[in-house]
Every structure is written in C-alpha cells, then in structure tokens.
Amino acid sequence: MTFREILLSHLGHRDYVPTSLERLGRDLHLNTKDRRKLAHAARELIRTGRIVLVKGDRLCLPQEADLITGRISFRQTGSAIVIPEGKVNSPERQQAIQIAAENTGVALHGDTVVVRLITGRERDQFRFLKPDERAGRVIEVLDRKNDTTTGTLQRGRTYFYVMPDDPRIGHDIIVDDPMRSKLRPMPVVGDKVVVRIGEWKDRSQSPEGEIVEKLGRAFEPRAELAAIYHKYNLSPAFPPDVIREAAALPSAVRSQELAGRLDYRAIPTFTIDPDDAKDFDDALSLEYLPGGDIRVGVHIADVSTYVRAGTALDREAQQRGNSTYLVGSVVPMLPEKLSNGLCSLVEAQDRLTKAAIFTFSSGGRLKKTEFANTVIRSVKRLTYKQAYALMFEDSLDAIRRLPVPPKHQTGSTGRLLSSLSHEELTSLQTWTRQLWSIAKKLRAERFKHGSLDLDMPETKIFVDAEGYADRIEKIENDESHQLIEEFMLLANEAVARLTRTQNLASLYRVHDDPDEERLDDLRRELAGQGIKVGDLNKREELVKLLAFLKDHPQGHLLRVQVLRSMRKACYRATPDGHFGLAKQDYTHFTSPIRRYSDLVVHRVFEHYLVKFEGYPPAGGGGAISSAGYNIARAESLAEHLSLTEINSTEAERDSVKVKLAEFFEREVEKKKKTRFKAVITDVRNHGFFVELAAAGAFGLVPISSLQDDFYQLNPSGTAFIGRKTKRKFELGRTIEVTVLRVDRQKRMLDFTVP
C-alpha cells in the first residue's frame, strides 16, 4: 500500500481517534525515512481536502468532524454555495451547502475550501434555509482557483486599488503606487490590469496584491477580451509544436486517402449553417432509390484522419476540450488550417467524412441505418436564411435577391444564389423541401414520445470593425434550423446505440432525470405567479407546461426557470440516457471540429468499422476497449470535457454581459433614445425589473425615474399604480423602455419609461 492509502485506511477505521501526525508515526511503528514519506502524503491529502486538521494538529477525515471539502461559488450578493467534492457529471453528487456572506471567510469564487456544517441553534439564524438544506461556515481555503484576477486600476485618497471585474469578488485589492511598477508600459489609473492576490488572512480587510500585467484601457474591446481570456484560461494562439504539426498537413485531400470510402462526390450534398460560419462540420446528402425509398446521409468532417491520438495536435485539442465562442471572437479547438480548411466541408472541395446513412420509405418511415467512411464534395454552402427561403418561397427570383452572406476566412462563400441556373436553383429547392418533409415527421415523432420543447430564440450580438457592440439580432429557431437539428439528433442517437449495443468503450451525452424537489419548488414558484400546473415529476405535465409558456407574456423568462430546475447535461462513459430528448441512447458525433468528445466518438466509430463491421462482438460483460479507450480512460475524459464545457459556457456568458453593457452604454449617449419592448418580470419596493426579450437583456426601472406621477405599490405587491393618472405597471405587462444608465463595472442596466 502507498502511504496515501495507509493514511486513508487508518483514519477511516471505526476505532480511530483524531491524533497528530507525530503520534500517528509512532503508532504505525515507522522509521524516520518512512515518517517523512507519511508527512509528505499527509500534506498532499490535506491540500486536496481528503483529510483535515482539527484542534490544531490532529488528523481526521472531513466527514468525521462535520467538515466538508468543496468548491465555493459566490453570488453577487456576497453569499455563496459550496459544492461538495465529487464528479461534476455524477448524479449522486452531494447537495450544495449554503454559506451566508459573513461566513465566507477569505475565500474567493472558485476556491476549494473546507466548510464546517452549522447545526442546532446557530442554524436557526438562517431563515432563508429550506428544511432539507445545509448551511456552513468556511474555515479554511485549501486551494485558490486563481491567484490572479483582472480589474480596473483606481486611486483612493491615500492608496491605489484594483476594482475586480468579477462582481462576485466583493473586495477591492490594494496595490502599490503604479509609479513604482517595473511594468512597461506603466499602468495608470483607468487601465485594465491583471493583479496577483497576495496572502489574505482577515476578511474584514481588503486583500493586497501586485499588478503583473497591463491589458489596455478599461472598457476598450481588446482589453475586455484579453481580460476574459485571462479569467477563463483561454488562448487563441497555439503552441509552436501544434503549429508545426498543422503546417505539415496537406492543404487538400489526397487521392490515397480515398481508399475504402464510399464516394458521394456525385450525389447531391450540401451544408446549412449561420451567415458568419467559418467551420462546416456537417453536410446532408439525398438520394432517390428504386421503389420510392429515400436515402439521407449525415456526413460529418473526419477530423480523426488528421488529428491522431497522442500527437501535439491531439493533446492541445483535448486540453481545450472544445471551441469557445465569444462575441466577435472565437478560441478554436483546432488550428485554422484544420478548422477552416482541410476539415471544413467547404463548397466544391473534396472532403473526408464519417457518415450515418438512413433509408426512409416514401412516407418518411425509417427503414435502415448504415455507417461508413465517405468522401463528399458539397454542391452548395447554404445559410439558414437561404435554406428557409428555398423551403417556403416559391419565387426563384426572390430567392436570388437574398442578401449575400459575408466572406469567411478562407475567402470564399461559394457560388452566389443569383449566379445559379434555373435548374440548379430548382434542384436545391426540391432537396431542401424533401429533407424538411422527413425532418418534420422526425420532429413530430420525437415530441410525441415526450421530448421536451426547450428551443428558445438566440440573441446574437454583432461587433463593428473596432470590436464594439454594434447591433443585436434575434435568431429564431425556425424550420431551417429544425431541419438540421433533427438529422443531427438522429445521427447522434444512431451512433450512441451502435457503441452501446456493441459494448464499445465510448463517451455519451447524458441528461439525468430532474430532482423531484426542485421540480416541486418550480411548481410552487409558478403557482405564485398564477400558473397552476400538475405534478411536474410526470413528463406529460412538463410537456404541457412548456407548450403553455410558448404564448405566455413572460414565456422566455419562465422557460429559463424550467431549464434551471433541471440537471445539467454532461459527458459520461455510461449510456445513461437523455431526459430532455427522451432518448435512451445519445452521444455527440456531429461536431468534431469544435468538440473533442465528438473526436473521441469518431475514433471509436472507426474502430467499429475496421474491426467489427459484419462481425459484432459477443454481447454481455463490460465495455470493450476501443481505439485506445477503456472504461476508466473514458470516465476520466468525460469528467474533463464536462469541466471544459462549463468553463467555455461561463466565458461565453461573460462575453455577452460585457457586450450588452457596451451596447446599451452607447444607447445612453444617443440624443434620440431607442425604444425597446420589455416585459415586467418582477415588482419590488424600489422599482420593477424588465426583460428585453429581443435584446436578451434584463434591468431595473427605478420607481424614482417615473416623473409623471407618484406611484404606489398595490397591496398584493404585483403592480405600481399612479395616484392621479391610475397608470399601472404590473407583473407580466409589455411596455416600452429606454436606457437610463449603465454600470459597466457591475454590468447592471437601468431603464425608464418614456
């Protein structure tokens, strides 16, 4: 046994009494050399929270001392929760512990901490706690998630300080006079900087720190972007060895790479993506078979041919986990030569793909599923707007007049629709309509089986040439998006079923059943807003609720609440099903350019094609090692990729908040104010909150900003009513607002009613 194992075993014995390390060494009859090894093992276990010190120097397991180790997550109010240690993708992870602001100690957001549970009379002080919730007090910081943070350099009366960008860090950081800094260029007040936080022992005093990098002027686009890169440990640049490997790859598909692939280059195949897409992962092909059957191929970029396991390219892609899409910028998982070039399914170029091929009857019934390596040549790169027009616009001239999408980084958008012949345009129209007729049936069947309709409009922020937020566009999940979505879901499900039934070690996209108590809480919250629902633990009641909310004035916000009441989807090495989609089998197969999970699944897919096609392994037993992955390796990857996904999601949300504040600040400066439609989502004593659904923004209308009358809160607390005019601002009402002020530092918006 290792000394780590010896310690954990000894401390876990039922007769163990907490004792010092010195005494423990004597009790275990260790010599001087082994005692040093034991001490080293103990320090490591203490650092990671596996064991803790009580009463000064006595060792014990956390659970034996009402102590719990976990990661702390702050709210803007200063309070926090601690998520006990455990796998991020495990449904059995322990319930979060509530921490009041005054009990957070010297912890910062993301730190690993030790919490002592609060019980008895002390717990009674926490009136906000539910009966089944736990509360605690941070007693030690085991590990700082980050010893640096970003913020704006400011000057007090007698000192300088950095105001952190992250509103969850509730303390300014005291720094030396920047005139003494060795940094060049020297930071000055108003600069965005990186500060290293020093030792912090007393929560009642601000921590001290040292400025280690100047990013630029606060609120300038480049400085704000650099701050997000730093905060989330993102880098748009690749290491030299990765660049060298990418440069050594061919610039086009070579003839020798076509061996053993089904040749789809003469079969109608095309892509449908957003206007500004630069990497094209997926394409659809369409064939009419004798007897009236229709064959649809879902062809996915074969990244695994070029990114081999164990290479520098592979190691870097695995570390990144996925591409991160910030407003006006992307941090790619793969270098541009692959993501926008060799692997991207651009128009009129041979590309290697992996495919799930489905045969449907003329009535849209799925009859057969096949898998293969293919080579394609896309006949057209369509945007969603173009595909939508082809699906529903009968006038070919109107289709030709559609706006031209912007050029992507490879400098080619393919042939313009206006340059296509009558026959070519008619063929495209026929293909998109045929595919939609099948996708529509797949979609209806999916919802019939209980899939939850959680689709919501996306708010997209566009930037100008200097990087400033320029306009906001609402992207609806219309039929052109749904067409692609249904075939991608079908392919993901088919590949997951394949790897499960063949007992191959792989990755799965899992969405666990919701927690019953959280759904009960949601039901009570909805009842408080006058929305009565049945038992939401029954799938049919959830389906009814989501259908009802589609036409509700506060539908967007309430659907977000429904989403938050559910567990997060994650990656796992076991095929545990997807609750939201109502599918037993589900994985990620369709986006290997931007998700490492899909690349792993492609390698397992290739293993099946080479080793087992036509000769399936015997059923039963555990998962079979495949493509170098066994179940333990898959579990480790699943955990890592679930974490990188969370990191990217948080970075993307942060980027949106920064740009929304930037956009609305420019609105404040306008002489003629833009009027935005908004829905009143909450009413408080000091004003009411509104949601600008089209802009994806939330803010407060302070009651003090309404100058036309004296407004009073009604007895039920759901509306403000003017004393003279009787004008009413009530929960759920749609009104028009203009921007009043913007706090860029706190990213808070105030509106008023014109």
pLDDT value, residue 732: 85
- Contact status, residue 735 vs residue 751, Cβ threshold 8 Å: no
Strands (E) located in 62-208: 67-74, 80-84, 97-99, 112-117, 134-143, 148-155, 160-164, 173-175, 191-197
Identify the residue whose tokens are 């980050």: 146
Higher pLDDT, 58 or 188: 188
Position 64 scores a pLDDT of 65
Cα 403 → chain centroid:
31
Percent of the chain's residues with pLDDT above 70: 94
For 21, the 3-state DSSP assignment is helix
Residue 49 domain flag: yes
**CA-based nearest residue to 250, from 343, 345, 312:** 343
- Average pLDDT on 42-48 reads 83
DSSP-based three-state secondary structure for 471: strand
Residue 704 in this model has a pLDDT that exceeds 80: yes
Contact of 727 with 708, CB cutoff 8 Å: yes
In-domain check, residue 566? no
- Over residues 423-459, the pLDDT tens digits come to 999 999 999 999 999 999 999 999 999 999 988 888 8
Q: Is 417 helix (H, G, I), strand (E, B) or coil?
A: helix
Tokens standing for residue 198: 């020093």
- State yes or no: pLDDT of 34 exceeds 50: yes
Instruction: Determine phi and psi for 424, rounding to 5 degrees.
Output: -65, -45
pLDDT band per the 50, 70, 90 thresholds, residue 409: very low
Distance, C-alpha 616 to centroid of its chain: 36
- The whole-number average pLDDT for the span 474-493 is 96
Q: What are phi and psi of 232, to 5 degrees?
A: -105, 15
> What pLDDT band is residue 238 in, cutting at 50, 70 and 90?
very high
Centre a 10 Å sphere on the Cβ of residue 47 and count the other Cβ atoms it contains.
12
Give the integer Cα–Cα distance in Å for 409 and 407.
7
Of the ranges 106-120, 181-195, 664-678, which one carries the lowest mean pLDDT score?
A: 106-120
pLDDT band, very low/low/confident/very high, at 410 (cuts 50, 70, 90): very low
Six-digit token string for 494:
């088919």
CATH number of the domain residue 691 falls in: 2.40.50.140
Is residue 722 over pLDDT 50?
yes
For residues 193 and 244, membership in a common domain is answered with no
Domain termination site, one of 143, 173, 200: 143
Indicate whether 615 pLDDT > 70: no
User: CA 741, CA 667: separation in Å to the nearest integer?
Assistant: 9
- pLDDT for residue 618 is more than 50: no
**pLDDT value at position 620?**
46
Of 116, 143, 170, the residue that ends a domain is 143
Enumerate residues 6+ apart whose C-beta is below 8 A from 137.
99, 103, 105, 115, 116, 118
Task: Please report which helix (H) or strand (E) contains residue 544, including its range.
Answer: helix 539-549
Residue 173: give its domain's CATH number.
2.40.50.700
**63 φ, ψ (degrees, to nearest 5):** -70, -15
Residue 24: pLDDT band (50, 70, 90) is confident
For 532-549, what is the mean pLDDT?
A: 92
Tell me the C-alpha distance between 124 and 611, whole Å: 63
Indicate whether 267 and 358 sit together in one domain. Answer: yes
Res 59: pLDDT: 86
CA distance 39 to 59: 11
Q: Worst-scoring range by mean pLDDT, 72-86, 179-193, 230-244, 707-721? A: 72-86
Q: What is the pLDDT of residue 26?
A: 86
Q: Which of 280, 414, 285, 286 is nearest to 347 (CA)?
A: 414
**Tokens 């091929």, residue?**
357
At 616 the pLDDT is 43
Asked if residue 754 has a cis previous peptide bond (ω within 30° of 0), the answer is: no
Residue type, 598: D
Domain shared by 73 and 167, yes or no: no
Residue-wise pLDDT for 152-166, tens only, equals: 999 999 999 999 998
d(Cα 182, Cα 237) in Å, to the nearest integer? 26
**384 lies in the same domain as 493:** yes
Model's pTM, two decimal places?
0.88
Query: d(Cα 330, Cα 413) in Å, to the nearest integer?
Result: 19
Q: How does DSSP classify residue 584?
A: S
Using one digit for the tens of pLDDT, what is the confidence trace for 294-334?
999 999 999 999 999 999 999 999 999 999 999 999 999 99
Name 25's Cβ contacts closer than 8 Å, sequence gap at least 6: 34, 35, 38, 39
pLDDT score recorded for residue 442: 98
Task: Determine, yes or no, domain membership for 628.
Answer: yes
How far apart (Å, rounded) are the C-alpha atoms in residues 62 and 46?
10
Tell me, yes or no, whether 306 lies in a domain.
yes
Asked whether 160 and 195 are in contact (CB, 8 A), the reply is: no
Q: How far apart (Å, rounded) are the C-alpha atoms in residues 106 and 80?
A: 12
pLDDT > 60? residue 621: no
Strand bridging mode 134-143 / 97-99: parallel
* CA–CA gap between residue 287 and residue 290 (Å, rounded): 10
Domain-embedded: residue 519 = no
pLDDT for the residue numbered 408:
41
Indicate the number of domains in the chain: 5
SS3 state at 500? helix
User: Does 387 share its domain with 408?
Assistant: yes
CB distance 684 to 731 below 8 Å = no
Write out the residue range of the structural domain in which residue 88 sits: 66-143
pLDDT at 86: 65
Closest Cα partner for 519 from 540, 538, 532, 544? 538
Check: CB of residue 72 under 8 Å from CB of residue 107: yes
> Greater confidence, 578 or 10?
578
At 68, list the tokens: 């719990």
171 assigned to some structural domain: yes
Q: How would you classify the pairing of strands 380-383 and 294-301?
A: unpaired
647 and 744 inside one domain: no
pLDDT of residue 527: 87
- The two beta strands, 719-722 and 711-713, are antiparallel
More confident residue, 279 or 696: 279
pLDDT at 222: 96
From 342, 323, 320, 346, select the one nearest 247 (Cα to Cα): 342
CA angle 442, 268, 401 (to 5 degrees): 90
Token digits of residue 537 = 């633990």
> Is 74 in the same domain as 94?
yes
Q: Which candidate, 581, 647, 604, places its Cα nearest to that of 507?
A: 604
Residue 88 is predicted with a pLDDT of 61
The mean predicted confidence, pLDDT, of the chain is 90
Among 700, 701, 699, 725, which residue's Cα sits nearest to residue 711? Answer: 725
Q: Euclidean distance between the first and final Cα of the chain, in Å?
A: 74
Question: Which pair of structure tokens corresponds to residue 426?
Answer: 């008619």
Residues 6 or more apart from 729 whose CB is under 8 A from it? 680, 683, 688, 701, 711, 719, 720, 721, 735, 753
- Collect all residues with Cβ–Cβ distance below 8 Å to 353 and sequence separation of at least 6: 264, 283, 299, 300, 301, 302, 345, 373, 374, 375, 376
Q: Are residues 84 and 196 in the same domain?
A: no
Considering the domain boundaries, does residue 410 fall inside one? Answer: yes
Last-in-domain residue among 143, 167, 191: 143
558 in a structural domain: no
- Residue-level pLDDT at 89: 65
Do both 29 and 79 map to the same domain? no
The residue type at 78: G
List pLDDT tens digits, range 337-353. Answer: 999 999 999 999 999 99
Residue 10 tokens read as: 């000894």
CB 115 within 8 A of CB 136: yes
Residues 363 and 306 in one domain: yes
Q: Which range is least confidently modeled, 245-249, 282-286, 402-406, 474-478? A: 402-406
Same domain, 297 and 178: no
Residue 120 has pLDDT above 80, yes or no: no
B/e letters for 13-27, b = 16+ CB within 10 Å, e = fewer, are eeebebbebeebbee
Instruction: Determine which of 409-413, 469-473, 648-652, 721-725 has the lowest per-residue pLDDT on average.
Output: 409-413
Kindly indicate the confidence band of residue 411, based on its pLDDT and cuts at 50, 70 and 90. Answer: very low
Residues 349 and 487 placed together within one structural domain of the fold: yes
pLDDT on residue 556: 79
Q: What pLDDT, on a 0 to 100 scale, did the predictor assign at position 427?
A: 95
CATH number at residue 48: 1.10.10
Residue 135, C-beta contacts closer than 8 angstroms, at least 6 positions apart: 97, 98, 99, 100, 117, 118, 123, 126, 129
